[in-house]
Chain A
Amino acid sequence: MHQEISGLCVITDTTTQKRYTHLQLAELAMRGGASIIQLRDKHLSAKELFALAVAMRTLTMSFGRLFIVNDRADIALAADADGVHLGQTDLPIPAARKILGKGKIIGATASTLEEALAAQQQGADYIGFGHIFPTSSKEKPTPARGLAALQEVVAAVKIPVMAIGGITLENAASVLETGVQSLAVISAVSTAESPQEASAKLSALIKTYTELHKVHRKDS
């Protein structure tokens, strides 16, 4: 079975910033301690995305971190990524599972408890829940979900939950108090003055809370 989803997931982004390439951002994020890199670029052709995914696979492997490709299960498989992340308008989970088999990770975006439970039932390995706070990274037609909704999802599903959307160094602690296993960020790392430092701070914060929640679980 694959590594469990936890820690900081950095989605490399080259639309909100132009200083770094996908690979440069991933490297900085991993140097800071990010445990998962997700590659998402809707502007690239399949040819370009595949070439990038191959390079990203080598890079993430050299750091011993997980590598997830957004949406394209074919590219995830061909580049030997650890898995694929599926949004609500991407391939259905069973379709991706048919292609990837049990050995790969399938993450699914959910923005309601119902979607989270459905994704779990369809065999997702983790839930990306959000967006938690208002965000500028993507045009979001839906309102921010807030921490109470996140808490509800964390309590209701058995698979790991990754919180996403508008998470910053300032609000990360409040998100982690819900017991969520993982945080996903785009701009908090990509547009930070030092992506490596931002990644390090977020990773450390997640580690602290993860330890804390482990102690709590043992106590109760």
Chain B
Amino acid sequence: MKQIDALPKLMIITDSARMQVPLPKWTEEVCAAGGRLIQLREKHLGSAQLYYLASTLRCITMRYGAKLLINDRADVAWATEADGVVVPELGLPIEVVRKLHAKWLIAKSVHDLAGAKAAEQSGADLLIFGHIFKTASKPNVAPRGLEALKAITEQVQIPVFAIGGITAQTARQCLENGAFGVAVMSEVALAENIGQAVHTLLQAIADTVQQS
């Protein structure tokens, strides 16, 4: 039902405020390069703007068979027929989101083991854990590191995506430490060559998976 088996290992997160190209064009390039899991996360936007962008991204991702997740706003996900929701740390309870839409892919952002276990128990389909490495997105919080990632992946059954400071090189380390996949923001959002950035990450993931 949840198509976890077909879950892509690279989640690409939008950051339109820092992008050098319009979001729809960026999304098109991400998808064309093989990106198959996109999270729309634009916390500064009003719901109307978010809704219209989500509708546009839904059309683009649909053409490529890519999955689209919406951060926080379950109503926008519903109205635009997205594939699911990413529930932030202070988002709606997972059970509540599940009740709104049984078939959604529900991801939960967590920052420690207790949060990860609670999210799994509440029925989250996947976890996003971080930040693993130093990242410009969170300059004032200490990174969690690979050991914490490993500890979490050993204690939950659902897929864990590592986030925070992910590059082709660190993606490999995350996968080697138990992560199912990785989630990136800056690495693709700020890339001069978007397609190339996606390609490099996908290649690093494929190489690591093949070796293991």
Q: Report which A residues bind B (CB closer than 8 A).
A: 45-48, 50, 71-75, 77-78, 88-92, 95-96, 98-99
Contacts and interface: CB of A to CB of B under 8 A. Distances in A.
B48 A89 contact: yes
Interface string B85-128: 00010111100110110000000000000000000000000000
Contacts of A90: 46-48
B133 interface: no
Nearest to A90: B47
B74 interface: yes
Contacts of A96: 75, 79
Contacts of B49: 89
26 contacts: A46-B90, A47-B93, A48-B90, A71-B47, A72-B73, A72-B75, A73-B79, A74-B78, A74-B92, A77-B75, A77-B100, A78-B92, A88-B48, A89-B47, A89-B48, A90-B46, A90-B47, A91-B75, A95-B51, A95-B75, A95-B76, A95-B79, A95-B80, A96-B79, A98-B79, A99-B78
B93 A50 contact: yes
Contacts of B187: none
B72 interface: yes
Contact of B75 (A45, A50, A73): A73
Given A46-B92, A73-B75, 6 more contacts: A47-B91, A50-B93, A78-B99, A89-B49, A90-B47, A96-B75
Given A77-B100, A78-B96, A91 B90 contact: no
Contacts of A88: 48
B47 A74 contact: no
Contacts of B48: 88-92
Nearest to A50: B92
B51 A92 contact: yes
Contact of B100 (A46, A71, A78, A91): A78
Nearest to A48: B90
Contacts of A91: 47-48, 51, 75-76, 79
